[in-house]
Structure 1
Amino acid sequence: MEKGSEDANWEPQNASFVMSMLRSICWDIMRTLSTATGAVAMVLAATTTTIVSSASIPLTSTPPVDYSLFRRSVTASASALANATYDYVIVGGGLAGLVVANRLSANPNISVAVIEAGSSGYADNAKFTVPSANLYDSSVGTEYDWQWKTTPQPGLSGRSAPWPRGKVLGGSSAINGLYYVRHSEIEQNAWADLIDDEQDWTWSKMLDAMKKSETFTPPNQATRQSVSVPFDSSSHGSDGPVHVTYPETTYPQVGAFLQSTGNVGIAQSQNPDAGQSWGAFLATSNINPTNWTRSFSRTAYLDPVTERSNLDVLTGHLVTKITFNSTSDPEGAVASGVEFSASSGAASSAVYARKEVILCGGAVNDPQILQLSGIADASLLSSLGIDQVVDLPGVGYHLQDHLSTGVVFSPSSSATMPPTTVTGNRATDSYVNSAIAYVSGSTIFGQDQWSSLIEQMQSNRDASVEAYDAPAAVKAGYNATYAAQVEKFFPTEIGPIELLFALSFGGVQVQAALQHPLSRGSIRINSTNPFTPPSIDPAYLSNPADMTILREGFKLARRVGTTAPLSTFTSSESAPGSSVSSDTQWESWIRSTVGTEFHPSSTCSMLPRELGGVVDKNLRVYGTKNLRVVDASVPPISFSAHLMSITYGLAELGSEMILQDYTQGMVGTTNTTAASVGGGGRGGSSGSGRTGGTAGGAAAGGTAGSTGSTSGAPAFAPALVASLTVAVCATACLV
């Protein structure tokens, strides 16, 4: 098989490569030991210890895993996928896409292709893996960022606001601020109520899925001595692919922020991950405590399984269209695959799906692809001359996003501040901002004023719905989600405002972020050229209540920053400054300053079709038979949380649904298809391996992903024996 430019030279060139591969194998083995028991575990432990010792690898050292040295599944060559057929074609190699790819390809009988518009990112690995690099070696504004901008926003004084999103394997999980913060039980159950579901999308199911994705490690002793960090390990997962913990290094200002929030009346959360996410707490971050690197979708779900022969990942190519072989099937339009291209004007290629096409492109790309493919509001398609496949008005609508900026203080002369560069010291560079508080409306306004504001929002609902520039079905959905926010969220302790504490760029910030905007926007294409960005209109602050809540949130941020003990670490306020004090002054500053908190959602909402929904409770696009959406565009309502944790859970649930349908589809059928007899992976009889595949499929893939017990590590029995054999032979050659 012809290999692409990213993996054509994977063969070992020298002894250092062999040593690196040996070390990686040894650490894979030791990770797998946790699932072994009895005599087997004793033998494996003894053998592995001998190998590690022979290779001069201290058992207490940082795991020197560098899967990029043998990433055989990843290619940048279009010819690797062109005209091939897989069971599943996944559009987008971001957070959700790599979760789904891992879980599906864990079954060696299933072949999977992933197409990612960005590059692999391996060439700039430290930019993603060093936690503090999210600020001081940022990928924002680089080739790893889509570099989108919103349309001019009347609510932001006519500004077009930047909208950074990850354009690299791992997506935004590779470039974000690493916050791992869950939403609440109330919010998740409101989502389930909106679709009349009592089984698949309740809090208990989502919590289990989020726990399945994570391995939690408690804070180290130094952090516990500096900051009060209540936690409950039972609220977390213990053997998932993604690491969840706290930085190795912290600063006294962090604890002071949490004390000051308490001193202004904000409750302190004791267990924010178990469904009661309000109050102040030190949030967990996606950091691997074995080496203090970012743990994200690529390192967690792809790097450990790149040797799977039934998984191909193409980078540097944009999916331009979904293709259909039938639009008249009574069960819905049948997706046959996708077309993709490297750039505007470049040759287009096609790849085909036996079973499903799965969109994991995110809140902007998913609606854009659906609209380009003829699935959208009929009037939009007609205006651009696009043939209609499904009249689905909700595609691209219901857009919601969090708005944020910070009240900034200069540090006091005695304050110890983090460096403002990446230092190269892993402990120092592990520090990321993570102290937060979700503040209830009654705490922000006082109970009487907040109750009055809720009543005002309720009375303004009809006018707000009527003012939304959207099709009738979408307005009906807005009416339903608006009611959920005002009636189910706002009267509770759920925080409409998040306060975030930041020690960055030499300043001390108390940021405020709007969590439950009543404003609704849209993503709509304005060209048939897939490489032309769509119109991104979040309609920021178009609902007056959003400004009122956000304004008072910033006033509270100032109060926290000027309250002891945090005030002992600050001097003057540099932004917006003491001259800003009246409501009018605050609002003018807000309109000129705020921007996205990087949490766009809901553009392919899971709602009933008559409410402008795009996907049903099985994540299947209405009017189609085998097209799904699995990512952050699916939740129908904005959460008081950071979206990363929820998206991991959603992707785990989506993978389970897809695998369940696959299993049910195989029951009672004769194994005559290529997928049935070999997995349709690479290395098959056709040379490319995607239409054939040898029996047994993915030798290195195994089934660990389907059980959720490890981070996609090789299956215990045959793969582990093979790894031991290779390790022993390699050690013998090197000693």
Structure 2
Amino acid sequence: MSQEPFDYIIVGAGTAGCLLANRLSADPQVRVLLLEAGKPDTYPWIHIPVGYLYCIGNPRADWMYRTEADVGLNGRSLIYPRGKTLGGCSSINGMIYMRGQARDYDNWARLTGEPAWSWQNALEDFKAHEDHYRLDDGADPSTGHNSRFSDTHGHGGEWRIEKQRLRWDVLDSFADAAEQYGIDKTDDFNSGDNSGVGYFDVNQRSGWRWNASKAFLRPARSRKNLTVWTDAQVERLTFERTAEGRIRCSGVHVCRERTSVQVDARREVVLSAGAVNTPQILQLSGVGPAGLLKSHGIDVVLDAPGVGENLQDHLQIRTVFKVRHTPTLNMLLHSVFGKMKIGLQYALTRSGPMSMSPSQLGAFTRSDPGRAHANLEYHIQPLSLEAFGEPLHDFPAITVSVCNLNPSSRGHIRIRSADFRDRPAITLNYLATEDDRKVAAESLRQVRQIMAQPAMQRFEPEEYKPGVQFQSEEELAQLAGDIATTIFHPVGTAKMGTVEDAHAVVDPQLRVKGVSGLRVVDASIMPEITSGNTNAPTLMIAEKAAAWIRADAVARAS
């Protein structure tokens, strides 16, 4: 069964795919098809900020992946949430708006030889879709009112960024303690240098989650040239030989309503399925390491050894401290009255715990003074639990999570069979390098030093996890493997690079090397992970790619 051809087929209606659908369908002369394996984002818990608790681990919105047992985690396997609904991961993530550091993008420019990826050039793409609350009242350079923020932020775009609608005494005191330790306070993590401690800005609008579907797809759905299919999972890409003998991606086979449908693309197929599903689709289609493909009986279209390799993620080490003389979410949610109060506060004011992101307070600093840049990110929460998905502890406590922003460990994504319905094997290889283990131990020591500062002592903090009995670097690195978990930032599995880089999957303008008509636009193209949360960088990548795709179309027409 085949369909009338489209000009562009976008695979994946997540963060990048929704923006691309908006930008490409703005040209009424082209037909755009957006494919999403999940359902529409009508599940109510997607839109209530605290609803991530009910979306992660729920097949209604999550692919329900797990990692392979990891030696670095002492044999543990982790849940690995990936959004499976319109909006993708932006529908289930922590809503934190974080670009990373200027050096991340300057390094991408160096690695790829493409100046467009530098911080100064990427900044315009970040600003293009921003609607930042700090500029709601305008910017007046003559008075300096908000002018500092107008240099680095945008206003009037689709992507709403707001201040959090709650605060906690214990978090304010942690910020004071961090300052006493030597971490300056900051009111903006997104200026290019995110060093400092402060509350995260979030992707919300008036206390509701603001996902990519609402921001970019909803305004474009009325366009007659945009078609959106949900419950439509791609089986594989299709290819043809051009008259010049080149390989061209001509379309996709997609499973829709239990029927395999072939859809052709006149111009381009764009993979925006994410750092797990994009390499899986490429491998299922015959683009990947030849040995892996042959072992599953897949004909090799293009031997591309980098597909699925270079997997990077931020591993967060979750420390827990019991506290006294202050409320935490643990106790509020163990009380019927507390739950009623929280629900009423959100219903009346769209504020309070139901409006909060998983982490409210953040900090960026160095694990040791010899580091040139901040290489640690803290997520501090007024709650605690043994593991994600388990009940909160029945004692007042806070969680101080810390992650290595620039891990040197690398993993991979590999298909298990030629069946598109089989989940891929996700191998992270966390803490596989000596430097990653060293940073893990240093970060645990730093957490203890911050908690020992005077500002925290009125809460009488008591280390519950990992426990004060563990002191040596070897013990702390081992303990990190026991208590650490993913912060859900997989990137790099279809990295961009130069023509000479044999393991680069895409060129600097995100075209798959060796194949025409095929581009990758999502977090998988990052050659190295950004120094922070990865949703905002993915939007920037999509903004830049949309401009390149449109420019290529103009060049072909002329």
| Aligned residue in 2 for 1:398 | 310
Q: Measure how far apart 1:584 and its partner are.
A: 3.4
| Aligned residue in 2 for 1:709 | none
Q: Deviations over 1:175-209 (max 9, x none)?
A: 011111111111111110001122x2111121111
Change (3 A) 1:92 1:220: closer
Matched, 1:431 2:356: yes
| Aligned residue in 2 for 1:315 | 230
Q: What amino acid is aligned across from residue 552 of structure 1 in structure 2?
A: E
User: Residues 271 and 278 of structure 2 are in contact (CA less than 8 Å); yes or no, is this contact kept in structure 1?
Assistant: yes
Change (3 A) 1:531 1:389: same
Task: Indicate which of 249, 258, 273 corresponds to 2:190.
Answer: 273
Q: What amino acid is aligned across from residue 301 of structure 2 in structure 1?
A: V
Mapped to 2, the partners of 1:372 and 1:327 lie a distance apart of 22
Task: Indicate which of 428, 434, 438 corresponds to 1:548.
Answer: 438
- SS of the counterpart of 1:239? coil
Q: Measure how far apart 1:145 and its partner are.
A: 0.9
Task: Indicate which of 429, 433, 438 corresponds to 1:539.
Answer: 429
- SS of the counterpart of 1:623? coil
Q: Deviations over 1:446-467 (max 9, x none)?
A: 43xxxxxxxxxxxxxxxxxxxx
Q: What amino acid is aligned across from residue 447 of structure 2 in structure 1?
A: A
Q: What amino acid is aligned across from residue 424 of structure 2 in structure 1?
A: P
Q: Deviations over 1:267-319 (max 9, x none)?
A: 3345431211222232211011xx31111101100112211111111111210
What is the total number of aligned residue pairs between the two structures? 524
- SS of the counterpart of 2:524? coil
Mapped to 1, the partners of 2:424 and 2:79 lie a distance apart of 14
Q: Measure how far apart 1:526 and its partner are.
A: 2.1
| Aligned residue in 1 for 2:40 | 120
- Give 1 or 2: higher helix fraction: 1
Matched, 1:590 2:480: yes
Change (3 A) 1:105 1:219: closer
Task: Indicate which of 525, 538, 547 corresponds to 1:647.
Answer: 538
Q: Deviations over 1:87-117 (max 9, x none)?
A: 1000001110010001011111111101111
Task: Indicate which of 130, 143, 167 corresponds to 2:48.
Answer: 130
Q: Measure how far apart 1:266 and its partner are.
A: 1.9
Q: Measure how far apart 1:564 and its partner are.
A: 2.9
User: Residues 380 and 400 of structure 2 are in contact (CA less than 8 Å); yes or no, is this contact kept in structure 1?
Assistant: yes
| Aligned residue in 2 for 1:579 | 469
Q: Measure how far apart 1:328 and its partner are.
A: 7.1
| Aligned residue in 1 for 2:372 | 492
| Aligned residue in 1 for 2:107 | 190
User: Residues 164 and 200 of structure 2 are in contact (CA less than 8 Å); yes or no, is this contact kept in structure 1?
Assistant: no
| Aligned residue in 2 for 1:468 | none
Task: Indicate which of 399, 407, 411 corresponds to 1:521.
Answer: 411
Q: What amino acid is aligned across from residue 355 of structure 1 in structure 2?
A: R
Q: Measure how far apart 1:553 and its partner are.
A: 0.7
Q: What amino acid is aligned across from residue 134 of structure 1 in structure 2?
A: Y
| Aligned residue in 2 for 1:246 | 163
Mapped to 2, the partners of 1:336 and 1:641 lie a distance apart of 36
- The worse-fitting range, judged by mean Cα deviation, of 318-327 and 353-362 is 318-327
User: Residues 606 and 634 of structure 1 are in contact (CA less than 8 Å); yes or no, is this contact kept in structure 2?
Assistant: yes
User: Residues 212 and 240 of structure 1 are in contact (CA less than 8 Å); yes or no, is this contact kept in structure 2?
Assistant: yes
Mapped to 1, the partners of 2:208 and 2:148 lie a distance apart of 22
Change (3 A) 1:560 1:657: same
Mapped to 1, the partners of 2:88 and 2:456 lie a distance apart of 35
- The worse-fitting range, judged by mean Cα deviation, of 426-435 and 257-266 is 426-435
Mapped to 1, the partners of 2:177 and 2:505 lie a distance apart of 44
Change (3 A) 1:610 1:664: closer
- The worse-fitting range, judged by mean Cα deviation, of 620-629 and 422-431 is 422-431
Q: What amino acid is aligned across from residue 232 of structure 2 in structure 1?
A: H
Q: Measure how far apart 1:577 and its partner are.
A: 2.5
1:444-523 → structure 2 map (5 Å cutoff): 444-447=367-370, 491-493=371-373, 495-504=374-383, 505=392, 507-523=397-413
Q: Measure how far apart 1:219 and its partner are.
A: 10
Q: Measure how far apart 1:386 and its partner are.
A: 1.3
Change (3 A) 1:214 1:509: same
User: Residues 500 and 512 of structure 1 are in contact (CA less than 8 Å); yes or no, is this contact kept in structure 2?
Assistant: yes
Q: What amino acid is aligned across from residue 356 of structure 2 in structure 1?
A: Y
Q: Measure how far apart 1:570 and its partner are.
A: 5.1
Q: Measure how far apart 1:414 and its partner are.
A: 3.3
| Aligned residue in 1 for 2:127 | 211
Q: Deviations over 1:620-658 (max 9, x none)?
A: 000111100000001100121110110111111011111
1:628-667 → structure 2 map (5 Å cutoff): 628-667=519-558
- SS of the counterpart of 2:525? coil
1:52-67 → structure 2 map (5 Å cutoff): none
Q: Measure how far apart 1:617 and its partner are.
A: 1.1
| Aligned residue in 2 for 1:104 | 24
User: Residues 114 and 312 of structure 1 are in contact (CA less than 8 Å); yes or no, is this contact kept in structure 2?
Assistant: yes
Q: Deviations over 1:6-30 (max 9, x none)?
A: xxxxxxxxxxxxxxxxxxxxxxxxx
Q: Deviations over 1:36-71 (max 9, x none)?
A: xxxxxxxxxxxxxxxxxxxxxxxxxxxxxxxxxxxx
Q: Deviations over 1:392-432 (max 9, x none)?
A: 11111111111013211223233465854662431122233
Mapped to 2, the partners of 1:545 and 1:408 lie a distance apart of 24
Mapped to 2, the partners of 1:155 and 1:286 lie a distance apart of 33
| Aligned residue in 2 for 1:287 | 204
Task: Indicate which of 245, 251, 263 corresponds to 1:337.
Answer: 251
Mapped to 2, the partners of 1:89 and 1:230 lie a distance apart of 40
**TM-score in terms of structure 1 length:** 0.68
Mapped to 2, the partners of 1:85 and 1:587 lie a distance apart of 54
Mapped to 2, the partners of 1:347 and 1:189 lie a distance apart of 46
Q: Deviations over 1:530-558 (max 9, x none)?
A: 11111111111111210110121122122
Change (3 A) 1:430 1:548: same
Mapped to 1, the partners of 2:441 and 2:244 lie a distance apart of 52
Q: What amino acid is aligned across from residue 351 of structure 2 in structure 1?
A: A
Task: Indicate which of 220, 241, 250 corresponds to 1:305.
Answer: 220
Q: Measure how far apart 1:665 and its partner are.
A: 2.2
- The worse-fitting range, judged by mean Cα deviation, of 138-147 and 368-377 is 138-147
Q: Measure how far apart 1:568 and its partner are.
A: 2.5
Mapped to 1, the partners of 2:547 and 2:135 lie a distance apart of 31
Q: What amino acid is aligned across from residue 120 of structure 1 in structure 2?
A: P
User: Residues 102 and 305 of structure 1 are in contact (CA less than 8 Å); yes or no, is this contact kept in structure 2?
Assistant: yes
| Aligned residue in 2 for 1:258 | 175
- SS of the counterpart of 1:187? helix
Mapped to 2, the partners of 1:118 and 1:263 lie a distance apart of 47
Matched, 1:602 2:492: yes
- SS of the counterpart of 1:304? helix
Mapped to 1, the partners of 2:455 and 2:517 lie a distance apart of 57
User: Residues 112 and 311 of structure 1 are in contact (CA less than 8 Å); yes or no, is this contact kept in structure 2?
Assistant: yes
| Aligned residue in 1 for 2:270 | 358
Mapped to 2, the partners of 1:588 and 1:417 lie a distance apart of 29
User: Residues 238 and 253 of structure 2 are in contact (CA less than 8 Å); yes or no, is this contact kept in structure 1?
Assistant: yes
Mapped to 1, the partners of 2:494 and 2:134 lie a distance apart of 36
Mapped to 1, the partners of 2:440 and 2:59 lie a distance apart of 30
User: Residues 327 and 389 of structure 1 are in contact (CA less than 8 Å); yes or no, is this contact kept in structure 2?
Assistant: no
Task: Indicate which of 516, 521, 542 corresponds to 1:625.
Answer: 516
| Aligned residue in 2 for 1:69 | none
